[in-house]
Amino acid sequence: MSDIRNSNPGGEDYEPQISASGVDAVGLAAGGSADPLPGEDKSYSQGQLVARRFFRHRAAVTSMIVLGIIIVVAFTSIGVGSIPGWWPKDYTLQYDKIGDGAPTWAYPFGQDTGGKDYFALVMRGTQFSLIIAFAVGIISTVVGTLIGALAGFYRGWLESILMRMTDVFIVIPLLVIAAVLGKTASGWGILGLALVLGLVTWTGLARLVRGEVLSLRERDFVLAAQAVGTSPWRIISRHVLPNAVGVIIVSATLSISSAILLETSLSFLGFGVQPPDTSLGTLISEYQAAFATRPWLFWWPGLMILTIALCVNFIGDGLRDAFDPRQNRTKD
Amino acid sequence: MTTLDISAPGPVTATGDAVLSFEDLSVTFKTEFGDVHAVKGIDLEVRPGEVVALVGESGSGKSVTSMTALGLLPRNARVGGTIRVGNKEVGALDGRGLRSMRGNDVAMVFQEPMTALNPVLTIGDQLTEGLQLHGIAFGKQATARAAELLTMVGIPEPERRLKQYPHELSGGQRQRVVIAMAIACDPKVIIADEPTTALDVTVQADILDLLRSLKDKLNTGILLITHNMGVVADMADRVAVMLKGDLVETGTADQVLNHPRHDYTKRLLAAVPHLGSGPGQFGDVAPVDAAPEDLPALDLGNLVIEYHRVGKPTFRAVDDVSLSVAQGEIVGLVGESGSGKSTIAKCALGLIPAASGSVSILGTDFTKLRGKELKALRKRIGVVFQDPASSLNPRLPIGDVIAEPLVVHKEGDERSRRRRVLELLDAVELPRSVYNRYPHELSGGQRQRVSIARALTLDPELLVADEPTSALDVSVQANVLKMFTALQERYKFACLFVSHDLAVIDLLAHRVVVLQNGKIVEQGPREEVLHHPREEYTQRLIAAAPVPEPLEQRRRREARHALLNQLGDDVAELVIEDDYERPVPKRDEGGTPSGLAGLTDADNN
């Protein structure tokens, strides 16, 4: 009843009796015009409809802006690699301490016990945490999607093998395997850690995608594609996965936020990012004893983690609502 | 049954005797895209012992209208006007009042009996629930009453059935149970929302017989919602035609079906295919001009298809079926659900392997091919599926959907593909502007046209159409069929046309194959099979198909009853014992059950 066509201004009444109105059939027959396609009136693809709904979700849009600011500030302030940033202080250098190192104008986040600029340190930690989170999100999404799609589409022995493998990964305590592998892998830098974390956190998504693919493969358009002789790979990539993209994106978003928390836990326990490099979890771990005396050393990185995780979760919520309009909650 | 006692249509002033009446009913839904005015001020009433058919195409607001009588609309609906059930005004009732009204004064028979029944509760539990909620009977008494109800609707061995679960019953029996639940509390009016749409035609005829005897014997009013004009002709005393939320015409069945006054009604009736009228209703079907020595487009030889089930014996869905489709010929594959007709279609497309036997497309055996050769053969077959909602990839614009087979087979370049798509859009009579649109922006009929265009993209020699019009409204179906015959004449493809609708087959097919339980019952030229059937099963099938003309349909009904008697079968009807007592809900003015209030509460908790 809530036909989407209704939203379409100027859309003519699409009743079948309208005969072929070749708008520029002549231009087409000549084959010359640059844009031979008739029908300039606005047409919304599924993606555009999703975007429209997403941008109406206030919490999600706000979160996206906040997250954007955090990302920009984290990367531009102290610079990345050899590229210098606009923040004058370096996170490795020790400066003269002002008082007990509480936040001042010169050191907005305060100074740590040795006199290092805490703003620069937190920005460095945020950079690492974000890189790990997004890398983990991407890796686990790719692996999970691939395994879920293959298992769901092919069924049979392939599904048995892949899903039993998934079961094995699920029953191993995540923190333990991540700690053991993470300790080894952090020797290869943060991307090594991200790779390991990504390779142990794809299981949930694989199951979700498999379920979605199981239902999609029975749809008539997949049968129709098979009937014209479409290759399985093309069916998966063109007909099945694009229709599962809602599940995948939402779950990828949420896996990013859980990756931030996982990395924090690991670093806090000392298995994650190793000094002299730093991440938000490492910072908290390092200064946990200072919680009572210099609370800012705990609160700044803590606040960062909270904000990032919360933002990502809200974005995930917004995406979920946008992809599945049926769960329409009344907004505001 | 006679229509003499039915007063003339038009506004009836005396509402005292109506069991259900709508006055100036309007319903508006608030949606994401603004308000949708689903019902725009209609007046309608149903009197005791009368069947009023509310007819209309999807989206006309007929189901919404009926739901207002039960107060069962979603929260975003605003209802205006007055709805009366008996002497109660629905709009004035609170939650409790509504609950006591539902089932008691007005009951509902739903379209899909499988989803209307709860799969985890026994038939007995579901039947007694209503009785206990409304304080009619409890415990053993309720079970006895439930058994009595099952006997009434013609289910044998009621005591055993009460302990069974819905999945253990056939579709027709399930619908009988739903009807038994509806009459459990002896409502004044029953709303039947497409009660037979999900059923096979022979089962449909039985259920309609049952509903007819129900209103005669219990004097219940029935509001019958349907899109099927044959059902209307069979059942209705009065007919109300709805179009986009308005009532455009009301009158007796004879007036509306035989002498329609409104243009829309005329168009609607003209669009109904008429069993027995043969081809030419929606465009002429070209005669087959294949020479006998030509290879058949499709040839099935002793085909057996089996489904392997875990923990159960193998199910033989198709058993020793041999049929062939000559080039340029349309063969109608007819059968009820479970007869294996869709399975055969899927096998002909190479989507299901054959357990034994051969499937040849233009002389090449499908079952022996692999890889590239198989792909090349698939190029020569097109397919149209039933459900327009799921047969198009929602993520692709229409242009890509139709061009997809060309891309898969690496034919042509960007420009020639586009030209081919536009040509096909013209052929299926869609405006070229749909090229950039997405499936969700099109109506069901338009989507089915896109499906047909996609099937024709590669110029196939064989088209397999699996119930291509059964999910469409009649007027849309008529247009699609018209277009289909025109396309067939133009492209001369052979077609395996699967359908359960004999009237559609009658106007389209050159030859007809009748299937039952995976076996061929009868096959031959259309006139022979459909007009002079030899086999008993075919006779039953044809006798059960309703036609949209009340007098003719009554003749057909009587002829069917005679046939059933001759074959030794019973005509379905409500069985009422002599000592049948109408249930009386025990309740006081406030609507709570009086004598057994404590017991009800205990039961509810």
Judged by CB atoms closer than 8 Å, whether chains meet at A225 and B404 is answered as: yes
Q: Are B57 and B227 in contact (CB under 8 A)?
A: yes
User: Does B37 contact A at CB distance below 8 Å?
Assistant: no
Report the pLDDT value the prediction gives residue B597, as an integer from 0 to 100: 39
Residue with tokens 């849009």: A61
Residues of A in contact with B429 (CB under 8 A): 16, 19-20
And the tokens for B131?
A: 């009785």
CA distances to A233, B294, B375, B405 from B372, rounded to whole Å, are: 15, 25, 5, 15
Judged by CB atoms closer than 8 Å, whether chains meet at B408 and A23 is answered as: no
Can you tell me the distance from the alpha carbon of B173 to that of B362, in angstroms, rounded to the nearest whole number? 43
**Selected residue with higher pLDDT from A151 and B104:** A151
Residue B512 to chain A, least CA–CA distance (Å): 24
Q: Which residues of chain A have pLDDT under 70?
A: 1-44, 186-187, 324-332
Min mean pLDDT across A92-101, B214-223, B353-362, B436-445 is at A92-101
Judged by CB atoms closer than 8 Å, whether chains meet at B446 and A14 is answered as: yes
Report the pLDDT value the prediction gives residue A189, as an integer from 0 to 100: 74
Residue type (1 letter), B429: E
Report the pLDDT value the prediction gives residue B95, as an integer from 0 to 100: 85
pLDDT tier at B496, thresholds 50, 70, 90: very high
CA angle, corner B284, sides to B280 and B286, nearest 5? 135
**Selected residue with higher pLDDT from B540 and B370:** B540
What are residue B54's DSSP bridge partners? B225, B240
Mean local confidence (pLDDT), B500-522: 90
Supply the DSSP symbol for B280: B
pLDDT(B594) > 50: no
Report the pLDDT value the prediction gives residue A320, as an integer from 0 to 100: 81
pLDDT(B35) > 80: yes
Q: Are A130 and A308 in contact (CB under 8 A)?
A: yes
Q: Which residues of chain B from 331 to 360 reach within 8 Å of chain A, CB to CB?
A: 346, 349-351
Kindly report, residue by residue over B344-359, the tens digit of the pLDDT.
998 988 888 888 888 8
Domains of chain A: 68-83+109-314 (1.10.3720.10)
pLDDT tier at B404, thresholds 50, 70, 90: very high
Torsion of CA A188, A192, A196, A197, to 10 degrees: 130
Residue A163 to chain B, least CA–CA distance (Å): 19
Judged by CB atoms closer than 8 Å, whether chains meet at B387 and A220 is answered as: yes
Q: Are A251 and A210 in contact (CB under 8 A)?
A: no
Report the pLDDT value the prediction gives residue A186, as an integer from 0 to 100: 65
Min mean pLDDT across A1-15, A287-301, B225-239, B406-420 is at A1-15
pTM for this predicted structure: 0.78
Residues of B in contact with A37 (CB under 8 A): 399, 418, 435-436
**Selected residue with higher pLDDT from A27 and B601:** B601
Residues of B in contact with A54 (CB under 8 A): none
CA angle, corner A70, sides to A69 and A74, nearest 5? 115
DSSP characters over B180-215? HHHHTT--SEEEEESTTTTS-HHHHHHHHHHHHHHH
Residue with tokens 């291509």: B468
Mean local confidence (pLDDT), B177-184: 89
Report the pLDDT value the prediction gives residue A38, as an integer from 0 to 100: 42
Residues of A in contact with B59 (CB under 8 A): 1
The minimal CB distance from B430 to the residues A6, A20, A43 is found for A20
Report the pLDDT value the prediction gives residue B5, as an integer from 0 to 100: 40
pLDDT(B563) > 60: yes
Q: Are A266 and A179 in contact (CB under 8 A)?
A: yes
Burial of A275 (0-12, 13-18, 19+ CB in 10 A): exposed
The minimal CB distance from B397 to the residues A2, A8, A45 is found for A45
Kindly report, residue by residue over B314-338, the tens digit of the pLDDT.
888 898 999 999 988 999 999 888 8
Report the pLDDT value the prediction gives residue B10, as an integer from 0 to 100: 39
Mean local confidence (pLDDT), B449-471: 90
Can you tell me the distance from the alpha carbon of B545 to that of B201, in angstroms, rounded to the nearest whole number? 6
Domains of chain B: 276-380+462-524 (3.40.50.300), 394-457 (no CATH)
Residues of B in contact with A219 (CB under 8 A): 390-391
The minimal CB distance from B432 to the residues A2, A16, A23 is found for A23
CB neighbours (10 Å) of residue B584? Answer: 10
User: Does B73 contact A at CB distance below 8 Å?
Assistant: no
Q: Are B342 and B351 in contact (CB under 8 A)?
A: no
